[in-house]
Homo-oligomer: A and B are copies of this chain.
Amino acid sequence: MRHGPDIAPIAALVGDPARACMLTALMDGRALTAGELAREAGVAAQTASGHLARMEEAGLLVRRKQGRHCYVALAGEEVGRMLEAIMGVAVTSGRTRARTGPREPALRAGRVCYDHLAGTQAVELLEALVARGALWQEDADLTLTDDGAALFEDFGIDIRTLRTSRRPLCRSCLDWSERRFHLGGGLGAAVLLAIFERGWARREEGTRIVRFTADGLRRFRAAFVSDGQGTDGTTR
């Protein structure tokens, strides 16, 4: 082993099917109980318990005992990004996974990526925002323009408050299904939250899938994607 961080122990943890399954299930950023994760991975509770202990020990997860339940979540956004990075390689990896489940299309269309939106809709959103000048995309890097800030403020997202957070405002996140970038960071999270609050889309129970309603999709596109400058008076 040459010098530098030792990646083998971390990767080995992710490399077990049962553990990978649990981590994937946690990718939506929510906390699940140990029992739920055990069922998710298809192993007995004892086995899952052992896995979770090791992953917490390694800093991949955080566990919080509450009553007789044990809530488990990813230790941080960095872990999520690592998992997405591995997914990016996995999806390229030769044989593209023999059987694509029936839910696969829905998952590619819209899903939660840690705490922001990913999938076709998310990629469309980002590219539309860039096209209308709300975001400035130079290569893979994103910057919110003044126009964009105004757009989101009008929409009801408090950009100024978001800026005070230590969390990056805009982050381009590589979408494993689209192979293009979508919007992450604090702004990405805020947008997804707004989508849920307005009922434009709902999460499918027990999955990462985000399903837009027909009306919600229309409104979503009207707000960000289309518009062009048809009614320039609307903004500010």
Chain B residues near A1: list those with CB within 8 A. Answer: 17, 20-21, 24, 41
Q: Among B59, B143, B207, which residue has its beta carbon within 8 angstroms of that of A92?
A: B59
Interface segment among A170-178, A195-203, A223-231: the answer is: A170-178
Query: Is there contact, CB below 8 Å, between A170 and B8?
Result: no
| Docked complex Cα distance between A8 and B21 (Å) | 8
Q: Which of B23, B171, B172, B176 is A5 in contact with, Cβ under 8 Å? A: B176
Q: Is the CB of A59 within 8 A of B8?
A: no
Q: Tell me the complex Cα distance, A226–B41, Å.
A: 54
Q: Which of A8-42 contact B (CB under 8 A)?
A: 8-17, 19-21, 23-25, 27, 40-41
Contact of A86 among B82, B136, B167 (CB under 8 A): B82
Task: Choose from B8, B9, B40, B90 the contact partner of A6 (Cβ within 8 Å).
Answer: B90
- 16 new A-B pairs (CB below 8 Å) besides A7-B20, A82-B86? A2-B25, A4-B208, A8-B19, A8-B21, A10-B90, A14-B15, A59-B92, A78-B88, A78-B92, A85-B85, A138-B144, A138-B169, A138-B170, A139-B169, A139-B186, A140-B170
Q: Total interface residues on A, using CB and 8 Å?
A: 72
Q: Which of A14, A21, A101 has the most CB of B within 10 A?
A: A14
A44 at the interface (CB under 8 A from B): no
Contacts A15-B11, A85-B82 known; A40 to B2 CB distance under 8 Å? Answer: yes
Instruction: Report if A89-B143 is in contact (Cβ < 8 Å); known contacts: A3-B103, A3-B207, A16-B8.
Output: no
- Residues of the B chain whose Cβ atoms lie less than 8 Å from the Cβ of A25: 2
A16 & B12 in contact (Cβ 8 Å cutoff) = yes
Task: Name which residue of chain B comes closest to A17, CB basis.
Answer: B8
